[in-house]
Amino acid sequence: MRTSPQFEFPPEQQVALRQARRWAWITLGYLASVIVVMYLAMGSSQAMKTAWLEDVLSLAPSIVFLIATHIAVWPPSKRFPYGFHRVVSIAFLVASLALFGMGAWLLIESITKLVQAEHPTIGGVTLFGHTFWLGWLMLPALVWSAVPSIVLGRKKLPLANTLHDKVLHTDANMNKADWMTAAAAMVGVIGVGLGYWWTDAAAAAIISLDILYDGGKNLRQVVFDLMDERPTTVDRATPDELPEKIRRRLKLLPWVKDAAVRMREEGHVYFGEAFVVPRDETNLAAKLQHASQVCRDLNWRVHELVIMPTPALEAALEGGDATNDQATNDQAENVDSSTVETSKPSAE
């Protein structure tokens, strides 16, 4: 059996990977300190508890990233001939489910507290012989949970783009948005301090909505990944142009009359098939091999491209929207239409 090629990052990505892994470890260390500090200052504030659980959950993307970048580079084996790239999606699925479930549970809990008009108790704490309000410890704990997090998010975002790593991208964005959680929790705590008992549960409900939203968004994205959605840019905003580039590169080969490409993402890299209509079939095997190499040289993310010669594109792709020459000339349109899809593109 022939396995897929060994995973290889080019030098630039190797450097980015090392940096990203280092930032992931720093994030874990920092979050561990946040979790301890927040736990000590938590009291019986629902907003603090929710913010704390969000911090615990935000360990997940970094852990997923570290595990995934470790396992994803394992060479393919006989048993797993496509390699281990997809471990990224599986780990991310688990993390998103945890986020989603926890968000839902916390939302129900906060609403219950609001409905039952449960008054949160934030009492005194005695340190070094002084007894003062625990809220005064919660506020700096929340600041510590927010400010370094923004810096970490900013550091990780460009690395995520270089590595084409969607887990890291999501993680960086969540870090960047973390101050909003802290701000909501602070409003809750200060509200309680001013004698408004409901601000605590209300802040907790807002934070759990945010957790739920993040979880739902990630869940949707990772399901799309596992459904082999067409490749997208790392922020998932637009379809990646790479399949179209490959198609045009193939058509530039003198022996190729027409070509169609479909690709899927597995973790950092793309796998795919190209269908070509040869003009000249002499020496076809060597030509195909050369064409595959040319395509892989286009971008490191083209991990493996299987090229299949066919007498006509329509015959190769029953029901698929085969491309024609006019579409090639119209760049605005062709990104979408020329990537061969055997099913309807998912609505976004």
Which residues of this protein are in contact with another protein, per CB under 8 A? Answer: 118-126, 131-133, 135, 139, 143, 146-147, 150, 179, 183, 186-187, 190, 192-197
Q: What's the min distance (Å) between Cβ of 209 and another protein? A: 19
Beta strands 130-133 and 124-127, pairing class: antiparallel
Q: What's the min distance (Å) between Cβ of 120 and another protein? A: 6
Q: What's the min distance (Å) between Cβ of 115 and another protein? A: 15
- Structure tokens that stand for 195 in this block: 């004698």
Tell which residue, 231, 230, 236, 219, has the closest CA to residue 169.
Answer: 236
Q: What's the min distance (Å) between Cβ of 29 and another protein? A: 22
Longest dimension (CA), the chain: 91
Q: How many Å apart are CA 126 and CA 53, to the nearest integer?
A: 25
- Which residue number, 131 or 326, has a Cβ lying nearer to another protein? 131
- Which residue number, 146 or 256, has a Cβ lying nearer to another protein? 146
Q: 304 by DSSP, 3-state: which? A: strand
- Which residue number, 118 or 321, has a Cβ lying nearer to another protein? 118
- Which residue number, 43 or 267, has a Cβ lying nearer to another protein? 43
Q: Under a CB-based contact definition with an 8 Å cutoff, are residues 339 and 263 in contact?
A: yes
- Which residue number, 82 or 196, has a Cβ lying nearer to another protein? 196
Q: What's the min distance (Å) between Cβ of 297 and another protein? A: 45
